[in-house]
């Protein structure tokens, strides 16, 4: 697949809301990319597995109205604009920096997306990239913020009645404090879209 030419990259900080100390990632993504590409970059940088639905909500700076961008079909009260067709650079700017990103409408993981900088592209870098972050992402399907808090209590206390079961479910490998940005590999969004939608 031929890569699109671009001159700028958008640097975002993505912070998972409601958890302290904060879980966050800093990513850089080309200006030409769509909200679908941004979704894929967030999923891979955070460590989610893209099992569930998602939506972005932000201000359309032209109409001054909130818009919801995500999956373009489904039984929802909200009208979704199609994430695969909308360029993020047409919505984000240094005057319109913030968006909400929700992943898994059941567990309700809410993220704040903040545009930090618009930077010149650097030669030799395969964008999008994750350049920084803190703490591991909660495991999929752990029950949202409250379920995650219960999970942390259970795995940190060997006498907890749920300790053994939770450790078995996690596979004995989960460290809530660990994150290495160098270990992040962000998938090609077109490949992910074909896998998701055929």
Q: Given this model, what pLDDT does residue 174 score?
A: 87
Whether the per-residue pLDDT at 88 is higher than 70: the answer is yes
Percent of the chain beyond pLDDT 70?
Answer: 93
User: CA separation (Å) from 64 to 6, 109, 193?
Assistant: 28, 26, 30
At 1, the pLDDT band (50, 70, 90 cuts) reads very low
- Put residue 74 in one of left, alpha, beta given phi > 0 → left and psi -120 to 50 → alpha: left
Three-state SS at 41: helix
**Residues found in the chain:** 198
Whether the per-residue pLDDT at 92 is higher than 90: the answer is yes
In the sheet that 98-103 helps form, which strands lie side by side, from edge to edge?
Answer: 80-82, 65-70, 54-60, 98-103, 109-120, 8-16, 23-30, 129-134
Mean pLDDT of 20-46: 96
State the chain's mean pLDDT as an integer. 91
**Gyration radius from the chain CA atoms:** 18
Bridge pairing between strands 54-60 and 23-30: unpaired
CATH topology of domain 8-135+179-197: 3.10.290
> What is the pTM assigned to this prediction?
0.91
Nearest partner of 10 among 96, 82, 103, judged by Cα:
96
Nearest partner of 130 among 6, 14, 8, judged by Cα:
14
Whether the per-residue pLDDT at 2 is higher than 50: the answer is no
pLDDT tens track for 160-190: 999 999 988 888 678 999 999 999 999 998 8
Q: Given this model, what pLDDT does residue 75 score?
A: 55
Domain residue spans of the chain: 8-135+179-197, 139-176
Q: Given this model, what pLDDT does residue 74 score?
A: 56
């Amino acid at each position: 697949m031929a890569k699109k030419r671009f001159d700028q990259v958008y640097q975002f900080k993505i912070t998972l809301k409601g958890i302290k100390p904060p879980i966050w990632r800093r990513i850089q993504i080309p200006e030409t990319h769509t909200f679908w590409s941004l979704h894929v970059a967030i999923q891979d940088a955070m460590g989610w597995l893209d099992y569930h639905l998602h939506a972005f909500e932000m201000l359309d700076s032209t109409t001054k109205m909130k818009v919801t961008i995500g999956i373009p079909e489904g039984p929802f009260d909200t009208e979704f604009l199609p994430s695969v067709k909308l360029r993020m650079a047409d919505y984000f700017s240094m005057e319109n920096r913030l968006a909400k990103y929700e992943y898994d409408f059941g567990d309700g993981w809410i993220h704040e997306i903040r545009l930090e900088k618009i930077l010149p592209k650097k030669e030799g870098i395969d964008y999008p990239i994750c350049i920084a972050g803190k703490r591991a992402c909660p495991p999929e399907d752990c029950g949202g913020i409250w379920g995650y808090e219960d999970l942390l209590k259970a795995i940190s206390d060997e006498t907890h009645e749920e300790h053994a079961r939770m450790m078995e479910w996690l596979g004995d490998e989960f460290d809530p404090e660990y994150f290495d940005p160098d270990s992040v590999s962000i998938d090609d969004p077109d490949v992910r879209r074909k896998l998701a939608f055929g």
